């Protein structure tokens, strides 16, 4: 099999994205590839917007070994499990989620990883989890009309100097009646007031009406 590391801890194996499993023998329902005594978990771009963004050619992916991440809208932790593989035991993910059901599933599915902290809270109110330390990356995947403002508020409160923010924008959650292109342009303009945009890609065919942005404070 042809294996190439395309970002720190993110591999392309015969053209499929994968991460090295932090907890051998544990997976969701993804395919496992065994190479040189290591387990690699295939990261499906149809099931994870971060994987879709990498597949669509983002040039900056700031999550690496030891990264501290604030993850807004972590849900059951599917994408976070790949971030958890990449950051290893030296890193940590603070996962904010307001659905009680999702948080229960998250706790069960990630307990063996040891680098994900579940936080049952509303990402619109960062003051409710103000105890979280400063992080290297704020990652946002919430379906909320205010999702750009939520990202900026959390980045302002928790991002270390030199840190990065990434977000998946769902145009239909912001305004279902308007053209996605227009929503994306407005979102970019809002972000540009305080951040430098490093990457912008749309996520089709993996996710329709979604875009993905990597940015950092100016």
Q: In three state form, how does the secondary structure of the chain look?
A: CCEEEEECCEEEECCEEEEECCCCCCCCCCCEEEECCEEEEECCCCCCHHHHHHHCCCCCCCCCCCCEEEEECCCCCHHHHHHHHHHHHHCEEEEEECCHHHHHHHHHHHCCCCCEEEEECCCCCHHHHCCCCCEEEEEECCCCCCHHHHHHHHHHHHEEEEEEEEEEEEHHHHCCCCCHHHHHHHHHHHHHCCEEEEEEEECCCCCCCEEEEEEEEC
Q: Does 105 bind ligand SAM (CB under 6 A)?
A: no
Q: Does 199 bind ligand SAM (CB under 6 A)?
A: no
Contact between 63 and 43 (Cβ < 8 Å) = no
- Residue number of the CB closest to ligand SAM reads 73
Stretch near ligand SAM under the rule CB under 6 A, chosen from 24-32, 36-44, 92-100, 103-111: 92-100
Of the candidates 8, 105, 122, 186, which one interacts with ligand SAM according to CB under 6 A? 122
Q: Does 19 bind ligand SAM (CB under 6 A)?
A: no
Stretch near ligand SAM under the rule CB under 6 A, chosen from 3-11, 36-44, 59-67, 70-78: 70-78
Q: Does 123 bind ligand SAM (CB under 6 A)?
A: yes
Give least dist CB 93 to ligand SAM, A: 11
Q: How far is CA 192 from CA 18, 101, 149, 186, in A?
A: 32, 35, 12, 10
Contact between 175 and 145 (Cβ < 8 Å) = yes
Residue 68 or 153 having the CB closest to ligand SAM: 153
Stretch near ligand SAM under the rule CB under 6 A, chosen from 19-27, 107-115, 121-129, 176-184: 121-129
Of the candidates 9, 73, 95, 163, which one interacts with ligand SAM according to CB under 6 A? 73
Of the candidates 52, 116, 142, 167, which one interacts with ligand SAM according to CB under 6 A? 142
Give least dist CB 208 to ligand SAM, A: 14
Residue 12 or 173 having the CB closest to ligand SAM: 173
**Interface positions with ligand SAM (CB under 6 A):** 48-49, 73-75, 78-79, 96-99, 102, 122-124, 141-144
């Amino acid at each position: 099999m042809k294996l190439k590391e395309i970002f720190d801890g993110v591999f392309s194996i015969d053209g499929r994205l994968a991460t090295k499993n932090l907890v051998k023998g544990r997976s969701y329902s993804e395919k496992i590839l065994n190479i040189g005594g290591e387990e690699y978990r295939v990261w499906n771009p149809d099931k994870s917007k971060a994987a879709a963004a990498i597949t669509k050619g983002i040039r900056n992916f700031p999550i690496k070994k030891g990264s501290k991440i604030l993850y807004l809208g972590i849900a059951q932790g599917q994408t976070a499990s790949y971030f958890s593989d990449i950051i290893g035991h030296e890193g940590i993910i603070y996962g904010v989620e307001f659905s009680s059901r999702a948080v229960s599933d998250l706790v069960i599915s990630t307990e063996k990883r040891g680098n994900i902290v579940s936080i049952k809270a509303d990402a619109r109110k960062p003051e409710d989890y103000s105890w979280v330390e400063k992080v290297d990356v704020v990652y946002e995947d919430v379906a909320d009309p205010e999702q750009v403002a939520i990202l900026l508020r959390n980045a302002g409160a928790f991002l270390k100097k030199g840190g990065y923010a990434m977000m998946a924008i769902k145009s239909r959650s912001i305004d279902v009646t308007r053209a996605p292109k227009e929503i994306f342009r407005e979102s970019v303009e809002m972000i540009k007031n305080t951040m430098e945009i490093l990457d912008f890609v749309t996520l089709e065919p993996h996710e329709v009406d979604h875009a993905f942005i990597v940015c950092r404070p100016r």
